[in-house]
A and B are shown apart, each in its own frame.
Chain A
Amino acid sequence: MMDAAETGIIIIVAALYVALSYKEPKKAKEALNYSYNMGLDVFILFTSGIAIVGAMMVLVPENIVISTLGRETGLWGILIGVAIGSMLPAGGYIRLPVVLALLTLGAGVGTVVAILATRSLLYLPQSIGFFGARVEAILTPSFLLSGFSAGLFAHFIAGIFL
């Protein structure tokens, strides 16, 4: 069952579409086309991501996740999160299911946020091709730092509020 916040988001998105199609029907059609293409793009990744979650729930022992990525692992867990995040392909449709499995198995909030916030290094060749090696020399350590600081921030916030 969906809770009120989830229903609220769906209603807001639907209302935005209704408002746009009332004001600018052409733009609304364009938006639907974009969404359709995006949906087709991510569908296979999304379903394989969810399939991996199911497999992880069965295969990965809970105590291993808790001891290596759990809340008590602190900085170490966040660093492992950064390493995992840098090796996973980009895209919420892959990362969110993986993170859901880890959260369910007992990983800490800081660790999962570090996984989500670290940009994938699998796109390094593409990125060097577009930006050049010098720009990439600054970007790569910044990506790792970003994941680490986001994880650390989430760890402290979760410690206070959750």
Chain B
Amino acid sequence: MQRGRRKKTTGEKYFVLIAIVFYAAIYNSAPVDAIKAVNFSTDIFFDVILLVLAGICLGGLVKASLPEDFVSSHLGPDVGRRAYLNSVLVAAILPGEAYVRIPLFEAFLTKGAGIGPFTSLSTARPVIVNFPQGMAFLGLPVAIIQVFSTVFGALTAGLFAGILQSKFEIVKPDSRPPRQKDRKKYNNRKREG
């Protein structure tokens, strides 16, 4: 798991820029509306901040106490069909979003995981560790619906990917990404054709 801080992706920088442009545009056309917007935002900020902090602390707790081999032992190829459900549950308790998870999931793929469970794993969001945030923003009923729907969606995606792979064998065994330590050799071989 990654320790320390990550770089902001381009999409996120644009998001900050969009916020600034929005406010500049509103202030330019109607300063009263800009003040209204700031008031809305401040109210929401104070409404949700405690639960957001609780969610962040829960994420840190899971990250620190999860055993190193947890992912591989619950999602390995020997687990069978249960791997689909396990992968969704693991994704639900692993903190961090796509940018943090992609390198982590790569390790799982290189260890020979099935494409179906791997897809479920990469599709599901951290709905359990982010539950406090979900509750803060969506309210309890919608937050609960969101958890079950996300699990359902991730399972569907995993099964779909599994069927796609078994019918068309899109990912051939030799086209899987190599382990990090073999990446240099793999890239050289690819370059040499």
Contacts and interface: CB of A to CB of B under 8 A. Distances in A.
Nearest to A130: B106
B79 interface: no
A20 B65 contact: yes
Interface in A121-150: 122-123, 126-127, 130-132, 134-135, 137-139, 141-143, 145-150
A131 B149 contact: no
A58 B40 contact: yes
How many of chain B's residues touch chain A, expressed as a range?
35 or more
B191 interface: no
A154 B109 CA distance: 30
A5 B39 contact: no
Nearest to B132: A9
A53 B41 contact: yes
B103 interface: yes
A71 to B, nearest CB: 12
Given A39-B53, A41-B6, A135 B99 contact: no
Contacts of A40: 5
A122 B9 contact: yes
A90 interface: yes
Given A17-B61, A134-B172, A89 B115 contact: no
A58 B22 CA distance: 10
Interface string B52-65: 11101111110111
Contact of A130 (B102, B171, B172): B102
Interface of A: 2-3, 5-6, 9-10, 13, 16-17, 20, 27-28, 30-42, 44-55, 57-59, 89-94, 96-97, 99-100, 103, 109, 112-113, 116-117, 119-120, 122-123, 126-127, 130-132, 134-135, 137-139, 141-143, 145-151, 153-154, 157-158, 161-162
A-B CB proximity, top 7 nearest: A150-B153, A35-B60, A54-B41, A146-B157, A34-B60, A89-B11, A31-B64
